[in-house]
Amino acid sequence: MKIAVVGATGLVGTKMLEVLSERNFPLTDLILVASEKSVGKEINYKNKSYKVVSMQDAINLKPQIALFSAGGNTSLEWAPKFAEAGITVIDNSSAWRMDETKKLVVPEINANTLLKSDKIIANPNCSTIQMVVALNPLHKKYKIKRVVVSTYQSVTGTGVKAVEQLMNERAGIDGEMAYKYKIDLNVIPQIDVFTDNGYTKEEMKMVNETKKIMGDATIKLTATTVRIPVIGGHSESVNVEFENDFDIKDIFELMKTTEGIVLEDDIKNAIYPMPMNAHNKDAVFVGRIRRDESQDKTLNMWIVSDNLRKGAATNAVQIAEYLVAHTLV
């Protein structure tokens, strides 16, 4: 089993290598790919050194699976070339997510839709992944009508440059700016560019991807996505209106027993999900569960997950694990 990691020197690519190692992914050979300027650079994986190769060299080496995290433009150009060579691409960019011919996969929800013929598989947006993991069991039982979500997103979602900006500001150092504004001691209510309807691309990703992953275009969703000076993970305040009423005890039980979710909800002892505790973990943490007293059949919840792990690298590796386990590569 040959695996290629495309974008191996970036934040998500580095995390993919960590996750592959931690989960003992059954690979026999590893191919590391990055930009031309990184070709020849050596990267350590499980005490063995691997040289970074070019895109074409990676295709020539014929891996079975390529984990892509190198940006949308790179994916648009190169994913089809890998696919044409018979390589299954799992792409972490937004390039293929809303393509009607491509699957958008969160393994806990819809991995069972994957076929051997799916050669480009899209990994959803980080803020969408953690939300739908929590929403899916609720939708199955009570049918979701409408979701209102506000996010509190880590600077790691932007990349290394944003982390450096935050740390430079904390240290009083002038440096390169990833954002238009200072991020330390601040909150920026803009993630990605604004679209014609006044929402950002990040907000519209959450709207559109949720419907596609959950296979239900009738779900109404509105989002406000916000960048905060945190590095541990993304947090979300989620308000969900259902078609059918619920017993709050059943909600707790569902969250407790759903794969991939850790329930942290003990308000007497001030226990609830926080990015500092979600950092470097693969679970989606759910807490602050309570009935919305302003409206019938409506629930409030707080969802936190490490955006580089379950929100990106781990989800991609889980897709690869599913493909291997079901001999789809």
Give catalytic residue positions.
126, 234
CA–CA gap between residue 144 and residue 136 (Å, rounded): 9
- CA–CA separation, 285 and 39 (whole Å): 38
Q: Rounded CA gap, 94 and 165, in Å?
A: 24
188 secondary structure, DSSP code: B
Contact, 6 vs 90, CB < 8 A? no
Return the closest-CA partner of residue 317 out of 2, 74, 25, 4. Answer: 25
DSSP state at residue 233:
-
Could you tell me the two tokens for 294?
Answer: 């302003």
Cα–Cα distance measured from residue 242 to residue 292, given in angstroms and rounded to the nearest whole number? 11
Specify the pairing of strand 234-242 against strand 144-152. Answer: antiparallel
Distance from the Cα of residue 298 to its chain's centroid: 26
Which residues, other chains included, contact 60 with Cβ-Cβ below 8 Å and sequence gap of 6+?
A: none
Angle among Cα 176, 177, 178 to the nearest 5 degrees reads 120
Residue 92: DSSP 8-state: -
Q: Where are the alpha helices (DSSP H) in the chain?
A: 11-22, 55-60, 72-84, 107-110, 126-142, 160-171, 201-214, 248-257, 275-278, 314-325
Asked if 3 contacts 17 with a C-beta cutoff of 8 angstroms, the reply is no
